[in-house]
Structure 1
Amino acid sequence: MKDKEATKRKLIDAVGVIIKRDGFSTLKISTIAKVAEVDRKLIYRYFGGLNHLIEAYIVENDYWLLFSEKMKTMLEQKEFTGSEQIITAILQNQFSFFVSQKEMQRLILWELSADSPMMRSIHNARESMGQKFLEMTDSHFKESKVNFRPIAALLVGGIYYTILHTIFNGSSFTDMDINSEEGRQSILVAIEQIVHWAYIGAQ
């Protein structure tokens, strides 16, 4: 059993190594087995194939799938005073996580450019997690003219695009360098301000 778990760990880690080095498009059974230094047959034995191995890696590393569990714990421990603070923390943590995780940057690029049933499945799981958090805001916006969901969509999409654009096409975006501490901090402050404005607008 220990050998099986150790081999599975090697294979999942090998996926990460290849993504960091070459991107998702280069993931192949033979390449992963070579990096992991195991027989390629074990990928089929332990994961059933390439897609399930990649999925196992994504589940371990995707922000929304990871952070949802962390947020459940934080909610149980009552670390937030209300839904505004919860949503702000989620979006700020998403930015900090995504700006530092090259594998997830490549994942989103792959998700946007590939017609993949597996990626749609991951996207749907991510959406399901996000929906649970958005439901926390419903009571605040229910009787107002503010629809928070498109605001959240623009914030999430803006986080992805700003980071991907600056990393792959240049260091600055709207004259901000998000590779600098000052630039990253300005984004975090802006996220907090936009969420707050939405909440104030609904009062």
Structure 2
Amino acid sequence: MVTKRGRNRQQTETDILAAVARVLAREGFTGIGVNAIAHEANVDKVLIYRYFGGLPQLLESFGLSGNFWPSVDQLLEGLELEPLPPAQRLQLFFERFIDVLRTRPLTLEILAMEITAPNELTATLDAAREKWGQDLAQRLAGDRLITSNWNINISLLVAGIQYLLLRARKTAVFSGMAIQEDDGWMEIKKSLAWLCARMAHQEEE
């Protein structure tokens, strides 16, 4: 049974992580700091150190939370992957990944900031996503041996999707693809299904 104190801490941590997102959206990485986040969350900054350990650890928690980046569990929720062949596992993941990121303009804004102004704080978010990528590769591979080709191919497709989504913030058409439209992304998903089948076949050879 969760105590009242436990519920209060959980809510406070949730409020602090939400405040990180708002400060980043408004100020960018140059304006992020313990004082600014505490003020935004309306909490004493002591709680940030107590609950998270400091700004780097807070950003790591933010990077792994659903506030910024969809967790592997969120992306795979409701999908029964175990009985599915590898190609279909990959296809379902990429379709879900596209759909989720398209609904997260703040996430895309922060990704753009990371590219244009990398710093120690963006490196913390990068490290969090590295952990995410390792977990994802293992979950998609199941009991199969993870090869370097498997990791590289997944990473290339994830990076390509992110790039197209970032371009879609300002560009309607990229290389003939309508990246601001549902129909355009439907065509991209069809091509990804073909690529996933090729990836899985390559692993079996």
Q: Which moved more, 1:192-201 or 1:84-93?
A: 192-201
- Asked if the contact 1:83/1:137 (under 8 Å) is kept, the reply is no
Pairwise CA distance, 1:110: 4.8
User: Cα gap change, 1:114/1:26 in structure 2, threshold over 3 Å: closer, same or farther?
Assistant: same
Aligned residue number for residue 58 of structure 1: 63
Pairwise CA distance, 1:173: 1.4
Aligned residue number for residue 14 of structure 2: 9
SS of the residue corresponding to residue 168 of structure 2 reads: helix
Alignment of 1:109-188 (within 5 A): 109-112=112-115, 113-116=118-121, 118-133=124-139, 135-136=141-142, 138=144, 147-167=149-169, 169-188=170-189
- Asked if the contact 1:19/1:106 (under 8 Å) is kept, the reply is no
- Asked if the contact 2:171/2:180 (under 8 Å) is kept, the reply is no
Aligned residues: CA RMSD: 3.0
Aligned residue number for residue 101 of structure 1: 104
Q: For residues 47-90 of structure 1, give each alpha carbon's deviation from its aligned partner in whole angstroms, at most 9, with x where no partner exists.
A: 22122222222222223xx22466386347x5x53111111111
Inter-partner Cα distance in structure 2 for 1:72 and 1:6: 23
Aligned residue number for residue 18 of structure 1: 23
Indicate yes or no: 2:30 matched with 1:29.
no
Inter-partner Cα distance in structure 2 for 1:86 and 1:131: 11
- Asked if the contact 1:28/1:50 (under 8 Å) is kept, the reply is yes
The structure with the largest helix share of the pair is: 1
SS of the residue corresponding to residue 159 of structure 2 reads: helix
Q: Tell me how many residue pairs correspond in the alignment.
A: 193
Aligned residue number for residue 84 of structure 1: 87
Q: Which runs of 5+ in 2 are unaligned?
A: none
1:42 to 47, 65, 71: 47
Q: Which runs of 5+ in 1 are unaligned?
A: none
Q: Which moved more, 1:107-116 or 1:180-189?
A: 107-116
**TM-score, normalised to structure 1's length?**
0.76
1:183 partner letter: G
- Asked if the contact 2:87/2:200 (under 8 Å) is kept, the reply is yes
User: Cα gap change, 1:123/1:111 in structure 2, threshold over 3 Å: closer, same or farther?
Assistant: farther
Inter-partner Cα distance in structure 2 for 1:69 and 1:162: 22
